[in-house]
Structure 1
Amino acid sequence: MSQSAQKAVTQSVIRRYLNKETLKYVFTTHFWGPVSNFGIPLAAIYDLKKDPEMISGPMTTALIMYSGVFMKFALTVQPKNFLLFGCHVVNSLAQTGQAMRFVNYHYLGGAESKAKNDAVADSAPAPAVKEE
């Protein structure tokens, strides 16, 4: 690509994405609200690796319902806030994963399975250490 073509493409991108409307949007709560709200689904995704014993069933249920309400809200406000909608879609998926882990652990035998595995691991002999 020639130098002048690169310059034209760069200017086109700048004109298209770095204009008054975009900057006006970035400095509103329509943008920063969902961006700051993304901490909730990111925490839920991070927590998917933690022990399911620590999951709160009522709180997970509340967060799923909260995200459902705000998904509806994001599509009702004018202009529609697709960033907020996406944030709550991710949150509801992550919280649903947590809810499935909660149900599996507390109601479908996950706790007993974990206890059995822990007992087997505790009774296993320690590996021999080679001395030189």
Structure 2
Amino acid sequence: MFCFLSLCIVHFWAPTFKWGISIANLADSTKPPEKVSYPQQIAVTATGVIWSRYSTVITPKNWNLFSVNIVMAGTGIYQLSRKIQHDYFNKEEAAVVTKE
């Protein structure tokens, strides 16, 4: 009976559905870096970091919330690093553009 009741509360479903954001962010890693949005990825990263911390201080500890937010922060950091590398450290492409 307890297992059934735990599936009926928001404490379980909210972090479970949040996995969709992390999966979508992983799928976006196939997009070209110039199409990655700084504000969106900063929000994803900040949300992941903030809620990871929160999930460790609440009682009872919500490990599903913790794990989804660690993955969310990781995917956000990965996307931001792709975008920053493309915008600021892509010297080869900049050299080709200036030659044309």
Query: TM-score w.r.t. structure 1 length?
Result: 0.67
Match runs of 1:27-46 below 5 Å: 27-46=8-27
Spell out, residue by residue over 1:50-102, the C-alpha distance to the aligned partner (whole angstroms, 9 max, x if none): 11111111221122111111111111221111001111111111111101100
Q: Which runs of 4+ in 1 moved over 2 A?
A: none
Match of 1:76 among 57, 79, 100: 57
Taking a change above 3 Å as real, the CA distance of residues 111 and 89 of structure 1, as seen in their structure-2 partners, is farther
CA contact (8 A) 1:52 1:102 kept: yes
- The answer for the alignment partner of 1:106 in structure 2 is 87
User: For 2:69 and 2:62, how far apart are their aligned partners in 1?
Assistant: 11
Q: Please give the secondary structure, in 1, of the residue aligned with 2:30.
A: coil
- The answer for the alignment partner of 1:3 in structure 2 is none
Q: Which has the larger radius of gyration?
A: 1
Match of 1:60 among 41, 45, 55: 41
Match of 2:32 among 39, 47, 51: 51
User: For 1:95 and 1:88, how far apart are their aligned partners in 2?
Assistant: 10
The one of the two structures with greater contact order (alpha-carbon pairs below 8 A, sep at least 6) is 2
Q: Which region of structure 1 is more displaced relative to structure 2, 94-103 or 20-29?
A: 20-29
Taking a change above 3 Å as real, the CA distance of residues 104 and 111 of structure 1, as seen in their structure-2 partners, is farther
Aligned-residue RMSD, C-alpha: 1.8
Structure 2: segments with no counterpart, 5+ residues: none
Query: What percent identity do the matched residue pairs reach?
Result: 26
Q: Please give the secondary structure, in 2, of the residue aligned with 1:38.
A: helix
Match runs of 1:115-130 below 5 Å: 116=96
Aligned residues: 96
User: For 1:22 and 1:54, how far apart are their aligned partners in 2?
Assistant: 43
